[in-house]
C-alpha cells in the first residue's frame, strides 16, 4: 500500500515537472525575431528569452502569464514615440531588459513599463534610460519591483514623468531600485500596505519620494539625496519611516521631509543631513519621532502649531542653524530627552540628564520664519543679545515649549 502511495506521488511530481512551460528564444539569429511574435506564440507558463540586440516594435502588449527575460540587456527602444511595454495579466515576470526613449506627452502618461489591473508580477533587474514614466502601476496588487535602475535627464519638471509611479495599488514591494533625474523618484497615490526598502533616489526634479493617501506603508533604509524639493508626504496615516537617509535637499522650497496631515505614524532612526528644512510637520497627529539624527540643516524641525500629540524623543540635534521653530504659542506635543548641541545647562547628579530645561526655539529663528529678509542680521551682536534676552524671559517664543530632560551627551545609535 505504501509503495503505491509513493508511486502515485512520484507520478504527480513528474507530471508537474513535465507541464512546465517551454522556452521561446527571440533574437536576430533565432527563428523568432520579434518579441510581439513570441508573445503571440507563448502560452501561460512559457518563458520568452530575449537575446541582446535592439528591438523597435512600438508598443508591446503583454497579457499572458509568462516570464519575459532578457539576456545581456536587450534594448527595447520606444523611438521617442511609443510606450514600450504594457502589461495586463496575472503571474508574470519581466526581467533583465533595457528600456530606452519612450514617447512623451502631456495628455497620455507613456511609460517604459505600464502595468494595469494586474496581480503577482515581478519586475526585476531592468534598466531604464531616458524614459518618460519609468514603471507605472495602476490598480494592481502583489507586485515586486526590485533592482531596477532608472535614469533620465530632463531639464524641466513638465518634460518628464515619475520614476516609479503607483496609483491605487496594494501589497507592493519596491526594493533596491535606483532612480535619477525623473520628476518624482517614487510617486504613490492610494497605495496601501506596501514595503519600500533600500532604494536610492537622487537628483529628481521635484520629490525623491512623494505620496498621498497611502496608508500603512513602510519605508526602510532608503536614501533620498539632492532632490529638487526633497521628500513630501501628505494625507496619510499609519506610515513607518525607519532608517532612511535624507541628504542635501537644498533650496528655497526644499525639505528633507515634508509631512502634511500625517497621523499615527513612526519616523525613527532616520538621518537628516544638510537639508534646508529637516522635517516640516504640518497638521500631524500622534507621530513618534525617535532616534533621528539632525545634522547641519538650516531648520532641523519646523513644528507648526497645527500639530498635536506628537512625540519628539531621543533625537540628536547637531550643528543646525535653527533647531526648532514653530508658528504659534500653542504646544500640544511632547519634546523630551533629546540631545541639543546648543544646550548650556549643567548636570549636578551626573545622570547624563541636564538639570535645567532647554528651550530649543530660537527667537531669531521665529523672526526669520516670519520675515525672511531678517536673515540678514543673523549672527550679529544685536541678534545675539535678543536671543539671550528671550531665553531668559520668553516673550515671543512659546513659554512651555521646552525639553525638560535634555541629554548631556549625543546619543550613539550605532548604525
Partner 1 sequence: MTRVIRYIFNDILRTRFILFYTGFLLLSTFALFQLDSDFGKIVLSLLNIVLMVVPLVSVVFTTIHFFSSYEFIELMLAQPINRKVIFLSEYLAVASSLCMAYLIGVGIPFIMFSAGQNVISLLVIGVFLTLVFVSLAFLSSVLTRDKSKAIGIALLFWFYFSLIYDGFVLWIIYTFSDYPLEKVTLTLIAFNPVDLARIIMLLQLDISALMGYTGAFYKNFFGSNMGVLFSSSILFLWAIIPIYIALRIFHKKDL
> Which residues are at the interface with partner 1 (CB under 8 A)?
251-252, 274, 276-277, 296-299, 319-322, 368, 370-383, 385
Gap between the Cα atoms of 281 and 309, Å rounded: 12
Gap between the Cα atoms of 165 and 194, Å rounded: 13
Gap between the Cα atoms of 391 and 362, Å rounded: 8
Q: How far is the CB of 95 from partner 1 (least distance, A)?
A: 44
Gap between the Cα atoms of 198 and 176, Å rounded: 5
Q: How far is the CB of 321 from partner 1 (least distance, A)?
A: 4
Q: How far is the CB of 296 from partner 1 (least distance, A)?
A: 7
DSSP bridge partners of 115? 87, 137
Which lies closer to partner 1 via its Cβ, residue 274 or residue 390? Answer: 274
Which lies closer to partner 1 via its Cβ, residue 41 or residue 396? Answer: 396
Q: How far is the CB of 399 from partner 1 (least distance, A)?
A: 22
Q: How far is the CB of 364 from partner 1 (least distance, A)?
A: 10
C-alpha cell at 106: 502631456
C-alpha cell at 229: 524639493
Which lies closer to partner 1 via its Cβ, residue 56 or residue 391? Answer: 391
Gap between the Cα atoms of 344 and 353, Å rounded: 12
Q: What values do phi and psi take at 16, rounded to 5?
A: -65, -45
CB 130 within 8 A of CB 159: no
Which lies closer to partner 1 via its Cβ, residue 358 or residue 364? Answer: 364
Q: How far is the CB of 297 from partner 1 (least distance, A)?
A: 7
Q: What 3-state DSSP class applies to 334?
A: strand
Which lies closer to partner 1 via its Cβ, residue 286 or residue 391? Answer: 391
Q: What values do phi and psi take at 158, rounded to 5?
A: -80, -5
Cβ neighbourhood burial of 129 (10 Å; 0-12, 13-18, 19+): middle
Q: How far is the CB of 202 from partner 1 (least distance, A)?
A: 21
Q: What 3-state DSSP class applies to 345?
A: coil
Which lies closer to partner 1 via its Cβ, residue 103 or residue 230? Answer: 230
Amino acid at each position: 500500500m505504501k509503495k503505491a502511495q509513493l508511486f502515485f506521488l512520484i507520478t504527480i511530481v513528474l507530471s508537474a515537472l513535465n507541464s512546465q512551460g517551454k522556452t521561446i528564444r527571440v533574437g536576430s539569429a533565432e527563428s523568432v525575431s520579434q518579441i510581439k511574435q513570441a508573445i503571440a506564440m507563448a502560452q501561460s507558463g512559457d518563458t520568452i528569452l530575449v537575446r541582446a540586440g535592439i528591438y523597435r516594435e512600438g508598443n508591446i502588449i503583454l497579457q499572458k502569464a509568462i516570464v519575459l527575460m532578457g539576456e545581456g540587456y536587450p534594448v527595447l527602444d520606444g523611438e521617442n514615440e511609443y510606450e514600450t511595454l504594457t502589461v495586463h495579466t496575472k503571474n508574470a515576470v519581466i526581467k533583465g531588459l533595457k528600456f530606452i526613449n519612450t514617447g512623451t506627452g502631456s495628455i497620455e502618461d507613456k511609460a517604459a513599463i505600464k502595468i494595469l489591473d494586474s496581480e503577482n508580477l515581478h519586475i526585476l533587474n531592468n534598466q531604464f534610460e531616458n524614459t518618460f514614466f519609468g514603471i507605472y502601476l495602476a490598480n494592481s496588487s502583489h507586485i515586486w519591483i526590485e533592482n531596477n535602475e532608472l535614469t533620465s535627464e530632463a531639464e524641466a519638471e513638465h518634460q518628464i514623468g515619475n520614476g516609479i509611479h503607483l496609483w491605487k495599488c496594494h501589497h507592493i514591494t519596491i526594493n533596491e531600485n535606483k532612480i535619477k533625474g525623473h520628476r518624482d523618484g517614487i510617486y504613490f497615490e492610494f497605495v496601501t500596505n506596501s514595503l519600500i526598502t533600500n532604494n536610492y533616489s537622487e537628483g529628481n526634479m521635484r520629490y525623491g519620494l512623494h505620496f498621498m493617501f497611502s496608508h500603512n506603508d513602510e519605508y526602510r533604509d532608503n536614501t533620498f539625496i539632492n532632490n529638487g524639493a526633497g521628500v513630501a508626504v501628505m494625507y496619510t496615516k499609519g506610515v513607518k519611516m525607519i532608517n532612511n537617509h535624507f541628504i542635501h535637499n537644498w533650496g528655497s522650497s526644499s525639505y528633507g521631509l515634508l509631512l502634511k496631515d500625517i497621523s499615527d505614524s513612526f519616523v525613527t532612526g532616520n538621518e537628516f543631513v544638510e537639508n534646508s528644512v529637516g522635517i516640516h510637520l504640518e497638521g500631524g497627529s500622534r507621530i513618534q519621532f525617535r532616534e533621528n539624527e539632525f545634522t547641519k540643516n538650516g531648520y532641523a524641525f519646523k513644528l507648526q502649531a497645527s500639530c498635536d500629540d506628537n512625540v519628539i524623543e531621543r533625537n540628536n540635534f547637531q550643528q543646525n542653524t535653527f533647531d526648532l521653530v514653530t508658528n504659534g504659542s500653542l504646544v500640544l506635543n511632547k519634546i523630551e530627552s533629546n540631545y541639543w548641541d546648543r544646550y548650556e545647562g549643567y548636570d549636578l547628579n551626573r545622570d547624563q540628564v541636564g538639570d535645567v530645561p532647554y528651550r530649543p526655539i530660537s527667537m531669531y529663528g521665529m523672526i526669520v520664519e516670519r520675515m525672511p529678509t531678517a536673515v540678514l542680521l543673523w549672527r550679529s551682536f544685536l541678534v545675539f543679545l535678543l536671543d539671550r534676552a528671550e531665553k531668559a524671559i520668553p516673550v515671543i517664543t512659546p513659554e512651555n515649549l521646552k525639553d525638560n530632560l535634555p541629554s548631556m551627551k549625543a546619543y550613539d545609535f550605532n548604525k
